[in-house]
Amino acid sequence: MAGENREYVFMECTETGMRYYRTQKRVKGQNIKKIELKKYNPKLRKHTVHKEKKK
């Protein structure tokens, strides 16, 4: 089945601490690192670094 080794994680802005985005992450396997992406922050109206946070 597709998607059975995945879980949802929230992306938290490093500047404001707000969580605007949710994405899926693979959980089974080796060397699974925390996700870090540049996403748009509507409060600041610019792109900022977002890091993975669990619920």
pLDDT tens, residue order, the chain (55 aa)? 565 788 899 999 999 999 999 999 888 877 778 899 999 999 999 999 999 998 7
The pair of structure tokens assigned to 41 is 């922050």
Domain boundaries, the chain: 1-34
> What is the residue whose two structure tokens read 């690192």?
33
Distance CA 53, CA 45 (A): 22
Distance CA 27, CA 3 (A): 10
Distance CA 33, CA 38 (A): 16
Strand 36-41: give its sheet, edge to edge.
19-26, 6-13, 46-53, 36-41
pLDDT of residue 41: 95
